[in-house]
Amino acid sequence: MRFTQLFLAATTAALALSVPTKLKKRGHKLRFFGVNESGAEFGNQNLPGVYGHDYTWYDLSTIPEFINKGMNIFRLNLQMERLVPNSLYGPLDPYYAGNLTAQVNYITSLGAFAMICPHNYGRYYNTIINDTAGFEAFWATVAKPFQNNALVMFDTNNEYHDMPQSLVVDLNQAAINGIRGIGANSQYITPEGNSYTGAWTWISSGNGATMGALKDPQNKLIYQMHQYLDSDGSGTSTTCVNSTIFRNRLVAATQWLQQNNKLGIIGEFAGGDNATCLAALEDGLKYMGDNDNVWTGAMWWAAGPWWGDYIFSMEPPSGIAYTDILPKILPDD
């Protein structure tokens, strides 16, 4: 039996009593500052999987706490095959979509932004998505329930990689077309690039030469890039290269954004709980703030109730990034 909708309805009603008092000013001048919520995409080798066993949704009681600390955006990672199962042209799964809707509605009711992110790497059932019409249909289906909520953002897909560059561009354009085609015109869309959408490889990967061609009739694209600070940029180590590595890895992407009159956002970043990484994190966020004509924000990877002792866990109350790192990188009041 599935008690998901009843549970979330009760949870949302209870949490409505704990609305945060205000959205704090972001001292490093970034418009968006927040965190990834990760867990609804877990267990992707077992589809559709069982809620509470293979995957989970997010603890809504943490949202007001994050907001009161200065966050105003939450990237909600999910699995495409659970949201729209069996076919890109299919309908929403009512249970999985019901959970997503409850999360989005609660977050946006507090005045924060909810970014919907299929965490699929440009794949569907473990196969590279080549059907651009199907991808457009998928996004039309997903965006429709949120077409009148301007605090929703749409992230076309997490970290396309090892795909033809032209296909990555075409899939991003298909997503834009699907979203705008159903009348969702007030929301930002964040295209992602190939090669895991790394900021430090934005030019060398071919993203810089091709992604600028995307067209949005509403002119509300924010190019999403990811940046980790370890030696290979994978985000699997707490050792940062040096205290300026975050800034250094953003320079070429910053120049591209400026030269092409585009906006960017760092959709994932993290570093270890040590002096070098903390200095790099503070320096990189300051650099982004100094270039806020093109950089709109940044989201930490990651929070979620199943992260446990993960090296970058931002989950309250005891995640290491929440207790030790967040106080040092928070925006000023």
Catalytic residues: 159, 268
Question: What is the spatial distance between Cα 152 and Cα 184, in angstroms, rounded to a whole number?
Answer: 10
Lookup result for tokens 């990689």? 161
Residue 127 bridge partners (DSSP): 124
Q: Which residues of 68-85 are buried (b: 16+ CB within 10 A; e: fewer)?
A: ebbbbbbbbbbbbbbbbb
Contact 244, 281 (CB under 8 A): no
* Residue 317 CA neighbour count, 13 Å, CB half: 1
Of 117, 218, 205, the closest CA to residue 169 belongs to: 205
φ, ψ (nearest 5 deg) of residue 301: -110, 115
Q: In what order do the strands lie in the sheet with 32-37?
A: 189-190, 152-155, 113-118, 73-78, 32-37, 295-303, 264-270, 223-228
Report the DSSP pairing between strands 123-124 and 127-128: antiparallel
Question: What is the spatial distance between Cα 324 and Cα 330, in angstroms, rounded to a whole number?
Answer: 11
Question: What is the spatial distance between Cα 173 and Cα 140, in angstroms, rounded to a whole number?
Answer: 13
Number of neighbouring beta carbons within 10 Å of residue 267: 27
